[in-house]
Amino acid sequence: MPEESDVVDALSNLKPLSLHVPEPKFRPGDAVDFADVEVPAAGSVRRPDTLAPAQDFTDLAYTMVRVLDEDGQAVGPWNPQLSPDRLRRMLRDMAMVRAFDERMFRAQRQGKTSFYMKSLGEEAVAIAAAHALDDEDMCFPSYRQQGLLIARGCPLVDMMNQIYSNTGDKLQGKQLPIMYSEKRFGFFSISGNLTTQYPQAVGWAMASASKGDTRIAATWCGEGSTAEGDFHSALTFATVYRAPVIFNVVNNQWAISSFSGFAGAEATTFAARAIGYGIAGLRVDGNDALAVYAATAWAAERARTNAGPTLIEHFTYRAEGHSTSDDPTQYRSAGEPTAWPLGDPIRRLKDHLIALGEWDEDRQAAMDREVAEAVKTAQKEAEKNGILGHGLHQPLDTLFDGVFEEMPWHLREQRQQMIDEETASGRPWARK
């Protein structure tokens, strides 16, 4: 046994402990160089059988599934070989999302609503996934997947009514703008509490399996949300019960002001989270619509054949602010969006269609004008129902609606008390 003094002497020779605090590579004013981002050649990543055990392809969590090459050609084993009509629909849906985002962003700046979140540069993540999933599959989104609703045909006016919290808002103004809830289109209510949708998606998927249904669930979160406890609880339940669910981690490099290193990106990929849970993990070029489609279709087949869940990391980039409340110039270099090595998802899919001889720049310009006009027309229609900037549009007593299937006595009493007080005060908010 060493003497205590010997141990103390040995420890005294050690260097002091230090704490590693992650730092982004580029700050405001810095020149940007993404040369260290490893981008494998399109078509170079193998595609395992959907029934293969997850431990047989752990390498796919550390590389990147890519289909579109620099010449706009679809190459390799992940090429989903989609028809030109399908490709054009996906391109139009992505263009519609971008036009919708731009007009609603301006509406917020004009004081017509309080809040908005754009998905500029991330349109392929939602649109391609929506096209790969069955319309009956249930989606549990985060707050930048408005493309799911647009691809599934949700009326733009309904989405705008929710953003404006006006008289046409089916949610009666109870949700923050952009936190949609659309049962008609398999779109679960968005929550401002990060990653609550993950265990909800697993529970829904488990229920579907226990009933012998054929529908699966898909859910989305940002890379920062993988640090939430709900993320890990969901993966535990999913792996134990082989829940038919697809976990999508949208790694757009930034949370509202902290970079992905604070969620663990310096140590490993987010797709590698899957390995410790024994589930399939894929890392995908999130700006490649064909890669996103192929990975989602692969994961959906895996789920539907009882082979278990899949975690897909979509490697992409948030080209603008986190929301209308955020100014990204305060924490990142202005050169990042244009220097991002994976390009623009709309341009890449457009170039692919042109390379196939199925599209051209004139048709692209005409389509852009068409979707912009459609969004403008929808906005005018929605604003007939009012805008958030003009105040409360719902009777005040609707605050009590939609909480219980049957309202308990004490809430009925409170509602009546409120109505009596509002009526006596002469304020116009009580239900007539």
Summarize pLDDT for 343-359 with one digit per residue, the tens.
999 999 999 999 999 99
Model confidence pLDDT, tens digit, residues 31-59: 999 999 999 999 999 999 999 999 999 99
Residue 432 confidence (pLDDT) above 50: no
pLDDT for res 399: 87
Please indicate whether residue 143 is annotated as part of the active site.
no
Active-site residue, selected from the candidate residues 273, 322, 332, 415: 322
What percentage of the chain reaches a pLDDT higher than 90?
Answer: 89
**Buried b or exposed e, range 139-162, using 16+ CB within 10 angstroms:** bbbbbbbbbbbbbbebbbbbbbbb
Average pLDDT over residues 161-170: 96
Catalytic residue, candidates 66, 215, 273, 318: 318
Whether 46 is catalytic is no
- Residue 201, Cβ density class (10 Å: 0-12 exposed, 13-18 middle, ≥19 buried): buried
Q: What is the pLDDT of residue 279?
A: 97
Domains and CATH numbers, the chain: 54-389 (3.40.50.970), 395-425 (no CATH)
The span from the CA of 257 to the CA of 332, in Å, is 8
How does the average pLDDT of the chain come out, rounded? Answer: 95
The set of residues, in sequence order, having a beta carbon less than 8 Å from that of 294 and lying 6+ positions away, is 47, 65, 67, 78, 79, 80, 132
Instruction: List pLDDT tens digits, range 96-153.
Output: 999 999 999 999 999 999 999 999 999 999 999 999 999 999 999 999 999 999 999 9
Q: How confident is the model at residue 402 (pLDDT cuts 50, 70, 90)?
A: confident
The one catalytic residue in 62, 92, 103, 331 is 331
Greatest Cα pair distance, the chain, in angstroms, is: 86
Strands, DSSP E only, in 91-178? 138-140
The CA-atom distances, in angstroms, between 430 and each of 166, 207, 334, 414, 420 are 16, 41, 49, 13, 8
Predicted TM-score of the model (pTM): 0.94
Q: Give the end-to-end CA distance of the chain in Å, rounded to a whole number.
A: 86
* 331 noted as active-site residue: yes
pLDDT at 280: 98
pLDDT higher than 60, residue 309:
yes
pLDDT on residue 2: 61
Within 8 A by CB and 6+ apart from 87, the residues are: 349, 352, 353, 356, 358
pLDDT class for 7, splitting at 50, 70, 90?
A: low
Phi, psi at 237, each rounded to 5°: -65, -40
Q: How far apart are CA 120 and CA 263, in angstroms?
A: 22
pLDDT at 115: 95
